[in-house]
Structure 1
Amino acid sequence: MKHVFPRWVRTRVRTFASAAVVLVVVVLSGAPVGAGAGTPRWVDDSSAGAVERIADVGAAADPLPAQWHDLNGDGRSDLVAREAATGTVYAYPHSGVFNGAGTYPTRHAVLFGAQALNWIAVSEVTGDFAADLIARRGDGTLVVYPGSGQLQGGSTFGEEVLVGTGWGGVTALSVADVTDDGDQDIVARWGDGSLHVYPHTGIFDGTNTWASPELIGTGWNIMDWIGVAELTSDDSRVDVVGRRAGDSTLQMYPHNRWYDGTATFVGPVQVGTGWHSVEIMSLVTVTLDDFTDVVARRSTGELVVYRNAGGYNGDFTFHSPTGLGGGWNTMNLIA
């Protein structure tokens, strides 16, 4: 049984000189079972002119949900979508105001010829504090387009990096920190309904970026959509939410506050009904209140957001939908 109590945030500190900089960091509070009072950790990266800082921020710290979806560094969650006909991937920067269609009024082409992709997500997986694009190709390969930290057209993301093969049998994918160590893991449901987490190794290193899978659940083929994000307001840990195919109810599985295989998530608890009216769904902090909302596209092409009411509250966890704009039926991937 594996317990992880400390919360870590991984950041990148850039220096203005070529000299090496070394940081010593000690865990200030909390420790895994059997651990001591804290061990200094040294990080030295003189070759890159940058150092990696690891700091404990406590179990109740804000996990900064918008940061991992922020492409231009303004602290707000942006959207990314792939146009079906052309394969062009567009970024929609948040305007800074939650105002219906005025929330995402403009778009910028950031990737071209991406018809081969069949799944995309935005998260920070390379360790540099810039949001990256994670994608799966039709041949089952998993790739990452490292983010530049700036929204600058075709230079927003770098060259793709292969991070995995053999992912073709996965029927649902999400990126989130399930293991509660500050790094973004991959959550995957396979065709047999089993749910696995692939823990991030803490180093962005091609096919070594994520470790071998660990089982966290079975019977998940009853869901036709699965997402992972922090949805409750009191524990700063990610939860799993799924739409049940049989009755279109939305079910949430809260994190059990420690990473422990099939005991990691508890529940389910119902958080909504009547979700059959939407097609593509994504978990994004849209409303500028640090709560994770559900963004969804209707069959009419309208993009809507179901605002998080501020934490778990049964069928009232999410408010009635607010329109974000029309014409999104040209997009077949939205994150």
Structure 2
Amino acid sequence: MLGAGMLAVPASVASADETPAAQAVPYGDVQVTVPPDWRVVSFEETPHACLRLDKPALYLGHTGDQAECTASAVARDRGDTLHLEPADGAPERADIPTVTVQPGQRLPDGLPESPSGELRFVLEQQGLVATVGYGTSPDRVVEIVRGVLAQAEDGAGEWRTRRPTRPPAKEPVVPGAFKGRAFDACTAPSPSQMRAWRASSPYAGVGIYIGGPARACAQNALTPGWVSDQAAAGWHLMPIWVGPQPWTGNSNSLSTSLSGAATQGRTAAEGAVTAARALGLGEGTVLYNDLENYSDRARWDKPVLSYLDAWTRRVQEHGYRSGVYVAKSSGVQALSAQYTKGAYTMPDVLWTANWNGSADVGDSSMGLPAGRGQWPGSRRAHQYKGNVSESYGGVRISVDRNQLDVGDAADAPDPVFSVNTTNIMAAADFTGDGRADMAAVHRDGSLHAYHADQNGKLTYGGRLWPDRTWGAVRQLVGGDFTGSGAAQLAAVWGDGSLHRYEADEDGTLRHAGRMWQDTTWRSVRKLSVWKAADGGRDGLVAVWNDGSLRRYQARADGTLEAGSARIWKDKTWRSVRHLTSGRFTESGGTDLVAVWADGSLRRYPGDDAGTVGASRPMWRDRTWGTMRAVVAADFTGGGDTDLMGYWNSRRLHLYAGPGDGTLKPGVAAAR
């Protein structure tokens, strides 16, 4: 029978000048030699013991219910650990790399990288699974495994490990919208424990620690089957990654270098996404980064922001949503202070640690300024009590208590415009109220509408396209290219193709066809709509790579006529930074508006022949060079063309057009 109890192994007594003897621990047919300071724990003798990764130890046998685990899930330092168990009955660990060693083989010299600091070896000849945990390097523990492997009988060739048949892959789990209570525990409870709590506890959500170098407890119960079964049972899952922490002198410390912290953030995101996919958690799932409290904000705020910014960007690039767990007194304050400044990408969901005992997600409990609207619309979680022992259905678990209000993947993003940084915007009347609205491509490649009120101020209107493919769009303009009166967009994609999209009655867009048959539009540097003088079909104006400025007329079906008209005498338009157009004077002609490399904003009056004349300044100084985007349209419905300017500071300002070719001072058009 494999296993032993809490073992006290006899060792020779060492003198003061001698190195203490190593422990030789028998386990089945092998002997495991470990350092003298390691604890030795048998799960057969102590079935409630916790398999922790922050204390040097040898663990023997299959884990029990791990009821002795506290809720503390973050390790300041990781210790070297080795868990040996029979291969038969060992769970499939999808969250860490696994190496299978067949009879007669040695451990490979090159081991897979493990962002969570754990490696698993299936020793087929011995019939064992060895799971290695480590801090900075696995070398010392791997050598212990090599010693176990070397004890195979010479010439033995039988496989003592039954190779399990993997169950067929299931559809990925994407946790949906959830309002209610959730708990998180250091290790994922067993299926029987989860059933007991689902039946009798007030909780319907559970936090699961899917990996990270500072994860404190092993997750032997956490398998793809566990994930799918618990989701099917009605549990809302909160996958958590425990990355580097804002502490000094620890093996899991966050870098104080901003670039170093950003690198750690990207690494953490890659590890979390890999683990989530392996466990069957699909795109759209919120992945939470556990970043603990810190007291020295002057030292840590900027590295923390750099780390979380990189984490959020990379998680979103992979199609997942970003969540961050931070303390009310530190990380929450750092993020809140930057919420509308645009220097850092804000996470989709904020999870505040504030043990005030109040199960709510209001501004006060979240540690956010009252009434500012930060993280609105089902994007909050609050950990309101920590490390409490609770019993339901005869099952006792040490947990942290949380209150959640989290939407599903299809819910509206943060309506604060500056949070959803974009350089790609276009104007079109999506609501049919006579005022131009804004279409904006968010950083994650999704396309959204922002509707204008009578003052031209934008509020979030909804998603225009179901997926996140719009990040590949290079140019985007709005207009009526068929003369039908419908809101339409013209988009130049990365492959150089030009397509038209038309608004449906439900407020979304549909693909209406190509506007040009080849892919030569990749050579277009800037693009603008050319408003039809008679209210008919709009066309396009393009600045090409050779610096020429050309106008294209649309046909009734929305495609462009083959020929183009050159509307400027030379090819000096290559250095233009932004291009837009509108009717800025009572003459009714279409004027071009350009922001040049010197920061000047100039208007080029249009004439009846469809060309433009000599430029005139529209602004008193040359400060427009720091604009991210400039879009002209009638945003107030007053009949005159206005200008929206999106600054590098991520502030969107409306510059109303009085109809005389000038602009009024800018006013904030969105938060």
Same fold (TM over 0.5): yes
Is 1:94 matched up with 2:427?
no
Q: Higher helix proportion, which one?
A: 2
User: For residue 162 of structure 1, what is the aligned residue in structure 2?
Assistant: 514
Whether the 8 Å CA contact 2:500–2:558 is kept in 1: the answer is: no
What is the alpha-carbon distance in structure 1 between the residues aligned to residue 431 and residue 551 of structure 2?
29
Counterparts in 2 of 1:177 and 1:106: CA distance versus 1, 3 Å: closer
Is 1:212 matched up with 2:557?
no
What is the alpha-carbon distance in structure 2 between the residues aligned to residue 119 and residue 141 of structure 1?
11
For each residue in 1:188-238, what CA deviation from the matched residue of structure 2 results, as whole angstroms up to 9, or x when unmatched? 11111110111223x2154xx3331221112112421121211112x1110
Is 1:253 matched up with 2:604?
yes
Alignment of 1:62-211 (within 5 A): 69-85=428-444, 87-95=445-453, 97-98=454-455, 103-111=457-465, 112-113=467-468, 114-148=470-504, 150=505, 152-153=506-507, 156-164=508-516, 165=518, 166-177=520-531, 182-201=536-555, 203-204=556-557, 206=559, 209-211=560-562
Whether the 8 Å CA contact 1:271–1:318 is kept in 2: the answer is: yes
1:168 is paired with a residue of what secondary structure? helix
Letter aligned with residue 647 of structure 2: R
Whether the 8 Å CA contact 1:179–1:258 is kept in 2: the answer is: no
Quote how far apart the aligned CAs of 1:180 are: 5.8
For each residue in 1:5-35, what CA deviation from the matched residue of structure 2 results, as whole angstroms up to 9, or x when unmatched? xxxxxxxxxxxxxxxxxxxxxxxxxxxxxxx
Unaligned runs of 5+ in 1: 1-67, 327-335
Q: Out of 279, 282, 302, which is 2:651 matched to?
A: 302
What is the alpha-carbon distance in structure 2 between the residues aligned to residue 283 and residue 132 of structure 1?
15
Quote how far apart the aligned CAs of 1:118 are: 1.6
Whether the 8 Å CA contact 1:179–1:199 is kept in 2: the answer is: no
Letter aligned with residue 212 of structure 1: G
Letter aligned with residue 115 of structure 1: G
What is the alpha-carbon distance in structure 2 between the residues aligned to residue 127 and residue 182 of structure 1?
5
Counterparts in 2 of 1:286 and 1:104: CA distance versus 1, 3 Å: same
What is the alpha-carbon distance in structure 2 between the residues aligned to residue 186 and residue 225 of structure 1?
15
User: For residue 229 of structure 1, what is the aligned residue in structure 2?
Assistant: 582
What is the alpha-carbon distance in structure 2 between the residues aligned to residue 320 and residue 131 of structure 1?
28
Is 1:271 matched up with 2:618?
yes
Counterparts in 2 of 1:241 and 1:318: CA distance versus 1, 3 Å: same
For each residue in 1:289-324, what CA deviation from the matched residue of structure 2 results, as whole angstroms up to 9, or x when unmatched? 211111011112111111113222xxxx11111011
1:280 is paired with a residue of what secondary structure? strand
What is the alpha-carbon distance in structure 2 between the residues aligned to residue 318 and residue 187 of structure 1?
22
2:489 is paired with a residue of what secondary structure? strand
User: For residue 244 of structure 1, what is the aligned residue in structure 2?
Assistant: 596
Is 1:319 matched up with 2:664?
yes
User: For residue 18 of structure 1, what is the aligned residue in structure 2?
Assistant: none
The farther-off stretch of 296-305 and 133-142 is: 296-305
User: For residue 52 of structure 1, what is the aligned residue in structure 2?
Assistant: none
What is the alpha-carbon distance in structure 2 between the residues aligned to residue 189 and residue 197 of structure 1?
9
Counterparts in 2 of 1:160 and 1:200: CA distance versus 1, 3 Å: closer
User: For residue 64 of structure 1, what is the aligned residue in structure 2?
Assistant: none
The number of residues matched between the two structures is 237
Alignment of 1:6-45 (within 5 A): none
2:594 is paired with a residue of what secondary structure? strand
Letter aligned with residue 490 of structure 2: I
- Taking structure 2 as the reference length, the TM-score comes to 0.34
Q: Higher strand proportion, which one?
A: 1
Quote how far apart the aligned CAs of 1:286 are: 1.8
Letter aligned with residue 183 of structure 1: R
1:106 is paired with a residue of what secondary structure? strand
User: For residue 287 of structure 1, what is the aligned residue in structure 2?
Assistant: 636
Larger radius of gyration: 2
What is the alpha-carbon distance in structure 1 between the residues aligned to residue 501 and residue 545 of structure 2?
26
What is the alpha-carbon distance in structure 1 between the residues aligned to residue 502 and residue 637 of structure 2?
25
User: For residue 6 of structure 1, what is the aligned residue in structure 2?
Assistant: none
For each residue in 1:160-200, what CA deviation from the matched residue of structure 2 results, as whole angstroms up to 9, or x when unmatched? 41122310001011111367682211111111111011122
2:574 is paired with a residue of what secondary structure? helix
Letter aligned with residue 306 of structure 1: Y
Letter aligned with residue 513 of structure 2: V
More relative contact order, 1 or 2 (CA 8 Å, 6+ apart): 1
Letter aligned with residue 140 of structure 1: G
Quote how far apart the aligned CAs of 1:270 are: 1.2
What is the alpha-carbon distance in structure 2 between the residues aligned to residue 283 and residue 194 of structure 1?
21
Identical-pair percentage? 24
What is the alpha-carbon distance in structure 2 between the residues aligned to residue 306 and residue 249 of structure 1?
15
What is the alpha-carbon distance in structure 2 between the residues aligned to residue 133 and residue 181 of structure 1?
17
Whether the 8 Å CA contact 2:579–2:595 is kept in 1: the answer is: yes
Unaligned runs of 5+ in 2: 1-426
What is the alpha-carbon distance in structure 1 between the residues aligned to residue 495 and residue 669 of structure 2?
33
What is the alpha-carbon distance in structure 2 between the residues aligned to residue 116 and residue 222 of structure 1?
23
Whether the 8 Å CA contact 1:195–1:220 is kept in 2: the answer is: yes
What is the alpha-carbon distance in structure 2 between the residues aligned to residue 301 and residue 254 of structure 1?
29
Letter aligned with residue 267 of structure 1: A
Greater than 6 Å deviation, 4+ residue runs? none
Whether the 8 Å CA contact 2:435–2:636 is kept in 1: the answer is: no
What is the alpha-carbon distance in structure 2 between the residues aligned to residue 84 and residue 136 of structure 1?
17
Letter aligned with residue 625 of structure 2: H
The farther-off stretch of 164-173 and 285-294 is: 285-294
Whether the 8 Å CA contact 1:186–1:197 is kept in 2: the answer is: yes
Letter aligned with residue 613 of structure 2: V
What is the alpha-carbon distance in structure 2 between the residues aligned to residue 178 and residue 130 of structure 1?
15
Quote how far apart the aligned CAs of 1:136 are: 0.8
- Taking structure 1 as the reference length, the TM-score comes to 0.66
What is the alpha-carbon distance in structure 2 between the residues aligned to residue 178 and residue 222 of structure 1?
26
